[in-house]
Structure formats: C-alpha cells, structure tokens
Amino acid sequence: MRLLVTVIFSIIFFVNSFAQGDLMIFPKRLVFEGTQKRAQTLYLSNNGKDIETYRISYLEIRMGSNGQFETIEEPDPGQRFASPYLRFYPRTVTLAPNEAQVVKVQLTKTNELQPGEYRSHLYFRAVPKTKREKKNKETNDAQEFDISLTPVYGISIANIIKIGKPEVDVSLSDLNFEGLQDSIPIISMNFNRQGNYSVYGDFRIQHTSKEGKETEVAVMKGFAVYLPSATRKVRVELNNSKEVDYSSGILKVTYTSQADEHIYATAVLNLKNP
C-alpha cells in the first residue's frame, strides 16, 4: 500500500465583518473594556455551497515591525495572553450553505487580572475534507490508495482585555516619498507606539496641491500596532490619478481610532521637485 498525502495549509490573518474562504465573521475583533461586560458574541456564516466544519482554538501571536505575525508559546516582555481568562463555546462549528451560528466568548477569573492589556487570537480552522481513492492494477502488486486533503484555511480574531486606565502615545516618523515605482506612487513611514495599550484604527493620506486642492489618495482601515511592539513600518501605494501632481504640494497622514475617531497622530511630508 502506498499513501500519497498532499496537504496545503494556509493561515491568513486579517486585519467589522470579513471572510476567508466561505466563512464570514462579525465583528473583526473582540475587546473587553474592564470586567463589567463579561460576555460577547461572534457571528459566523457560511457563504459557500458545501457543508463546512471549523475547529476553534486560541493562538498566541507576535507582531513584527513589518506587520507580519508569528505564533509563539511564551509571551514577549511586556506581553500578556488573554486566553487564560477567556472561555468560548462551541469549540467546533458545522455550517450548511447559507447557515449562520453564534460563538460566545466569556471573561473569567477577573479577580486575577492586573492593570494592563491582555491579548490572544481566536482561531477558526477549517477541517480538511479527505478524499480516498482505491486503484486496482492489472498486475499482482498490492492495491494502491491515494489520500489527498483539500486546502485548509483559517481566520484569527484578536481578543483583547483592557484593565485600568489606558496610557498610549502614537507618533509618525521617517516619512519618505519613494517616487513612482512601476507608475505607482509609494510613501513609507513608521508608526511608533508607546504606553500600556495596543492601538487600532484607520489612517488616511491626503494630498494638497500648491493651489490648495485637497485629494484623498489612500485609506487603510483596521491598522494595528499590537503591544509590546513599539514600531510598525509600512509602505502605502497612493492613488495614481493624473489629477494629483506628486512632484509638489504636501502629503498629510492622519491616524484615528475607530471607536471615537480620536486622532492618535498626524504628520506632514513636503513634496519637492527633484
């Protein structure tokens, strides 16, 4: 007997509703502000044509300076995991096409929580479908089996517990207009975070011409710098409209919170002719 096993495993982390494969989840993240509200709800739906099963578990994740994620087992200095203080149910969900279900997440052991932020990521992993085919040969060789697993996809949802008064400061630095690369204007910059909480929000980039005309040239929603990371580097493609002259004027970056549109930080880059 010969076994041929092909496994394709893909984990995609997404920064209110989003989808991977045919699974849609709302909201994008859960935040427990203090201990008064001890239960929250996630809404799942299957937009595909097949019955799908998902196993749910917690992942612990580190964010790198370029925004990449890496699973870890031990917290970095200044990082606390939320999973010991959260429980969820059910742990496995099977959804028929166009079927929806809720997942409850509850805050526990609140007397053990100290001031600060705790974060873990609730991970929804599709259970692979296995196809087994039996092949007969004309020879006297042993029968041959092929086993293949369909692709497995997953979504992680940040679960955050915030205890105590937030102290956070954000600044933007090292703004650099990289010019037109393959006809695409790009700006790079650093988001710098200080304090005891992560930051999560939207940023917008606006171009103002010499004549004072204002044009929004880029928007990124759901942008986070997670504790304990101090800096996140980002390169952003700008709108390449012919109406925008990037050889002059200014680019203004504004980073705001999603909850109350509080302005975390702003920065301006003067554009000059080469």
Does 263 score more than 50 pLDDT?
A: yes
Domains (ranges, CATH) in the chain? 5-163 (2.60.40.10), 168-270 (2.60.40.10)
In angstroms, the CA 217 to CA 237 distance is: 9
Q: Among 189, 240, 194, 232, which residue's Cα sits nearest to residue 215?
A: 240
Edge-first strand order for the sheet with 130-135 is 5-6, 144-149, 130-135
Residue 47 CB contacts under 8 Å (≥ 6 apart), including other chains: 19, 22, 23, 24, 97, 98
Question: pLDDT tens digits, residue range 29-70?
Answer: 999 999 999 999 999 999 989 999 999 999 999 999 998 999
Tell which wins on pLDDT, 36 or 132. 36
The CA-CA-CA angle for residues 54, 149, 24, to 5°, reads: 30
Question: pLDDT tens digits, residue range 82-105?
Answer: 999 999 999 999 999 999 999 999
The mean per-residue pLDDT over the stretch 24-33 comes to 94
Q: Among 224, 223, 231, 240, which residue's Cα sits nearest to residue 187?
A: 240
Name beta bridge partners: 64: none
With cut-offs at 50, 70 and 90, classify the pLDDT of residue 11: very low
Q: Give me the pLDDT at residue 87, please.
A: 97
User: DSSP assignment of 12-38, as one string?
Assistant: ------EEETTEEEESSEEEEESSS--
Question: Which position has the token pair 């494969």?
Answer: 21
pLDDT, averaged across the chain: 85
The mean per-residue pLDDT over the stretch 181-210 comes to 92
Q: Give me the pLDDT at residue 134, please.
A: 53
In angstroms, the CA 99 to CA 32 distance is: 28
In angstroms, the CA 9 to CA 6 distance is: 10
pTM: 0.81
Q: Give me the pLDDT at residue 248, please.
A: 92
The lowest-confidence range among 24-28, 129-133, 213-217 is: 129-133
The mean per-residue pLDDT over the stretch 204-214 comes to 95
